Amino acid sequence: MPRVGLSPDGVVDAAITIVDADGPAALTLAAVAAKAGVATPSLYKHVRNLAELRDLVTTRVVEELTERLTAAVMGRSGDDATRALMRAYRSYVVDHPGRYAAMNQTSAPDLDPRLAAASQRLLDVLLAVLRGYGLEGAALVHAARCLRSSVHGFAVLEAAGGFGLPADLEASYDLLIRMVVGGLR
């Protein structure tokens, strides 16, 4: 019988705590069991294996990111929506670098249906913002890739302490936003 209070969500909560503290490489079933106060075999009542747990963690992170981006762009359009999306995305990565890194360790071909649905919702937010520029088809896909790559690269470098030069980081990010918005126009 599963431990009282332990559930699949509780296992993911414990996993997220580990990822937040020590990064995705520290995510093991033994570490999660220790965090949850159970023996490792007890986790198998809630998750099949480490791969499923990683998918569940990734799903949670994608859902959190989607929620943050949706709240940021709600009621906005065009350049205003793009700026809000870029700021919210960067903020999430900087606030939760371990979670974001864990999200990027799941391989796309093996997507769990829950993860696939969550990923589609995240993509839908990004595409909705970009459609505000009249983009469709391949142009929409290219713009989505470029926007995500720009924000991802900047935020990951920032979260890792990769910007050591003395110039103001906010000014650099504002320039990136202006470059992206200008390119979308």
* Per-residue model confidence as pLDDT tens digits over 49-70: 999 999 999 999 999 999 999 9
Cβ(40)–Cβ(11) below 8 Å: no
* 28 phi/psi in degrees, rounded to 5: -135, 160
* Per-residue model confidence as pLDDT tens digits over 31-51: 999 999 999 999 999 999 999
| Homologous superfamily of 54-184 | Tetracycline Repressor, domain 2 (1.10.357.10)
CA distance 157 to 162: 5
* Per-residue model confidence as pLDDT tens digits over 113-134: 999 999 999 999 999 999 999 9
Cβ(164)–Cβ(105) below 8 Å: no
User: Looking at the domain that runs over 1-47, which CATH code has it been given?
Assistant: 1.10.10.60
Tokens of 121: 């919702």
Cβ(65)–Cβ(92) below 8 Å: yes
Q: pLDDT category, 106, cuts 50, 70, 90?
A: low
Parts of the chain belonging to CATH 1.10.10.60: 1-47
CA distance 105 to 168: 31
Give residue 65's pLDDT: 98
Cβ(14)–Cβ(36) below 8 Å: yes
Q: pLDDT category, 108, cuts 50, 70, 90?
A: low
Parts of the chain belonging to CATH 1.10.357.10: 54-184
Whole-model pTM? 0.91
Three-state SS for the chain is CCCCCCCHHHHHHHHHHHHHHHCHHHCCHHHHHHHHCCCHHHHCCCCCCHHHHHHHHHHHHHHHHHHHHHHHHCCCCHHHHHHHHHHHHHHHHHHCHHHHHHHCCCCHHHCCHHHHHHHHHHHHHHHHHHHCCCCCHHHHHHHHHHHHHHHHHHHHHHHCCCCCCCCCHHHHHHHHHHHHHHHHC
**Quick count: other Cβ atoms within 10 Å of Cβ 156?**
17
